[in-house]
Amino acid sequence: QGPISGVNKEIAILQCHGDCDPLVPLMFGSLTVEKLKSMINPANVTFRTYSGMMHSSCIEEMMDIKRFIDKHLPPVD
């Protein structure tokens, strides 16, 4: 695929990854985030890792996702 342009170049992305994920190693998450940063504005890409988290989720991750949604999406009435 070619480079991303227009409004999509400024899209905000939150990528989350557990540092103990046995299915998708952290190295692949790190490579993915670097590729994303090369395609869009790197200032808009956030990569969060969670200590001890496997291929699952945790409260800290859910709170980060909530903050991201609250920041980037309009409120729902």
- Determine the pLDDT at residue 1: 54
- Whether 6 is in a domain gets the answer no
Question: Is the separation of the CB atoms in 53 and 61 below 8 Å?
Answer: yes
Q: pLDDT, tens digit, for every residue of 7-59?
A: 788 999 999 999 999 999 999 999 999 999 999 999 999 999 999 999 999 99
Element (H, E) at 16: strand 13-18
pLDDT band at 62 (very low <50, low <70, confident <90, very high): very high
Does residue 42 fall inside a structural domain? yes
For residues 2-7, average pLDDT: 70
Range of the domain at 20: 13-72
User: Residue 55 corresponds to which amino acid?
Assistant: H
- Residue 3 within a domain: no
Is there a domain that residue 7 lies in? no
Task: Give the chain's domain count.
Answer: 1
Higher pLDDT residue, 8 or 69? 69
Inside any domain, residue 5: no
- pTM of the complete model: 0.86
Q: Is residue 57 part of a domain?
A: yes
8 is a domain residue: no
Q: Decide: 61 and 48 in contact? Cβ < 8 Å.
A: yes
Residue 18 contacts residue 54 (beta carbons within 8 Å): yes
